[in-house]
Amino acid sequence: MASIGSVFDRREELVNRLQQAPGEEARQELAPATDGPKPSRWTLRGIRATFPWLKGYTLSGVWRVLHRNGLHIRAAQVRQHSPDPEYVAKLEHLLDCLRDAAAHPGEVELVFLDEMGYYRWPKAGRAWEEAAPAPAPLADREGPNNKQWRVIGALNAVSGRVDYLDGYIIGREKVIRFYRQLGSAYGDARRLYVVQDNWSIHSHAEVQAALTELPQIEPVWLPTYAPWLNPIEKLWRWLREQVLTMHRLAGDWDTLRKRVNTFLDQFAEESHALLHYVGLTGDGKLAQALNDP
C-alpha cells in the first residue's frame, strides 16, 4: 500500500483520469463476463482497479482518499441540444423579447404558453409509511378507467401571474379561445409576446386567422424540441408533485379537478415564489435577460 502522504498528493492525477471514461481496468473489475463492455461511469470499485496505488484499499478507504483530494460524488447536469438549425437566432429573439417586457412593464408583456394533461389515477411516488414488513405506500388507482383532463396555461415572465383554461380536449377552438382570454386579460398592453412551442395546432390556419384579429399578440416561436426554454414546464412539474402524486381522489374526479384549479389559482395575480421555482430569477439565461433589459 502506498504511503499516506503520497496517496493524498495525487489530486492532479485523479482529476485528469476521472474526467475521462473508465477503461480496461474498470471493465475487467466490473463486467460480469470476460467479453463485457467497459462501464459508462466511475464507481469506487472501478476507481480502485484503475489506480495501482489504490489496489490495497477498502472501498471506504478509496472514498476517503477521494474526499481528501477534493473529489465528491455529484449529480450531473444535462447538456441538451435542439435539432433546430435556427436555435441561436430563436433564442436571441426570445431574449430580446424578455428584455423588452422587463424594460416596459405594463406596456409590453411576455407569457410562456404550454399545455399539459393529467389523469384521474394518481402518479406513484414516495411517501412516509411504516417500515417493512408493513405494506408499501399505495397509489390507489380505483375505478375501471383512467380519465384524462387537459390544461392550457400562460405564465407571465415578469410577474409570475398564471392564466389558464381547462377542458377535456385542448384543440384549435380552445387555443383560439385562450388567445382571446389572454388578449382580454392584458388589454392595457400594446404588445403581448406569447412564447410557445411548435405544436401543429399553434400554426393551424384557423388559429393564425384568429390571431389577425388580435394584433396585440405577437407569437414567439421556441426552437424545436427545446422545453428547457419554456419555464411553464416547471410549473406543470410543481403541480404534479404537489397535487397529482399519491393523491387519494381517484374515486372523486370532480374534487381532483377542483384541487388542480385551486393550485393554479394561487398564481392568479403574481408570485415571486413561482418565478423563483421556474428559474426566472437568479443567474439563468432567461433570468439575466429580465434583470438586464
Q: Is residue 77 part of a domain?
A: no
Residue 80, in any domain of the structure: no
- Domain residue limits at 251: 87-291
Quote the cell numbers at residue 258.
Answer: 377542483
245 lies in the same domain as 272: yes
Identify whether 81 is part of a domain: no
Looking at the domain assignment, is residue 199 inside a domain? yes
Burial 111-148 (b: 16+ CB within 10 A, else e): bbbbbbebebbbeeeeeeeeeeeeeeeebeeeeeeeee
Q: What is the pLDDT of residue 288?
A: 96
Query: From CA 81, how far away is CA 129, in angstroms rounded?
Result: 40
Q: Read off the DSSP letter of residue 245.
A: B
Do 202 and 104 lie in one domain? The reply is yes
The answer to whether position 82 is within a domain reads: no
Find residue 150's DSSP bridge partners: 117, 167
User: Is 187 inside any structural domain?
Assistant: yes
Q: Are residues 178 and 105 in the same domain?
A: yes
State residue 2's pLDDT score: 55
Please check whether residue 257 lies inside any domain of the structure: yes
Q: Is residue 161 part of a domain?
A: yes
Residues 192 and 115 in one domain: yes
Q: What is the pLDDT along the chain (293 residues), one digit of tens a residue?
A: 555 556 667 899 999 999 999 999 999 999 999 889 999 999 999 999 999 999 999 999 999 999 999 999 988 877 788 999 999 999 999 999 999 999 999 999 999 999 999 999 998 888 877 787 878 777 888 877 899 999 999 999 999 999 999 999 999 999 999 999 999 999 999 999 999 999 999 999 999 999 999 999 999 999 999 999 999 999 999 999 999 999 999 999 999 999 999 999 999 999 999 999 999 999 999 999 999 86
| Same domain membership, residue 55 and residue 133 | no
Report d(CA 102, CA 109) in Å as an integer: 8
Same domain? For 54 and 195 the reply is no
- The Cα 205–Cα 140 span in angstroms is 43
Q: What is the pLDDT of residue 137?
A: 78
Instruction: Count how many domains the chain has.
Output: 2
- pLDDT of the residue at 4: 52
For 86-89, the CB contacts below 8 A with 24+ separation are 86/223, 87/223, 87/226
Same domain, yes or no: 122 and 164: yes
Do 65 and 57 touch, CB atoms closer than 8 A? yes
